[in-house]
Amino acid sequence: EDQVTQSPEALRLQEGESSSLNCSYTVSGLRGLFWYRQDPGKGPEFLFTLYSAGEEKEKERLKATLTKKESFLHITAPKPEDSATYLCAIPYSGGGADGLTFGKGTHLIIQP
C-alpha cells in the first residue's frame, strides 16, 4: 500500500532561520513526487514535481530534493510569508486507481 509520511507535523522558525521538511514514501514504482503549499481556507498550490532520485528543483527560497525513499523541502532564510502547510504527495502506484496519496502535511510558522 502506498504511504506518505511527513515530518515534523509542525515547525516554528524565526525569520531567516533555515530548515528542512521531510517526506518519506513507500510505493512500488514512483511516478513522481509532488510538493504543494496550502494556505488556510484555500486549495493546495503546486510547487514542484520530482521524478527521479538525485533530482533537485528550486523556487525562490525553496529547494526540493528526492532520494529513493524520501524527499526534502529545504527552506533557506524564510520570511513570514512562507508560513503555510506544506504537503507532499505521490501518484497511486497501480490497481487501476488514479489520483494522489497525500501526507498529512507540515504546518510551518515563520515568526518575524
Binding site for other proteins (CB under 8 A): 4, 31-32, 34, 36, 41-46, 49, 87, 89, 91, 96-105
Nearer to other proteins by Cβ, of 38 and 76: the residue is: 38
| Dist. CA 52–CA 29, nearest whole Å | 11
CB of 30 to other proteins, least distance (A): 11
Nearer to other proteins by Cβ, of 49 and 76: the residue is: 49
SS3 (DSSP) at 107: strand
- Grid cell at residue 13: 522558525
Nearer to other proteins by Cβ, of 12 and 31: the residue is: 31
| Dist. CA 45–CA 62, nearest whole Å | 14
CB of 14 to other proteins, least distance (A): 27
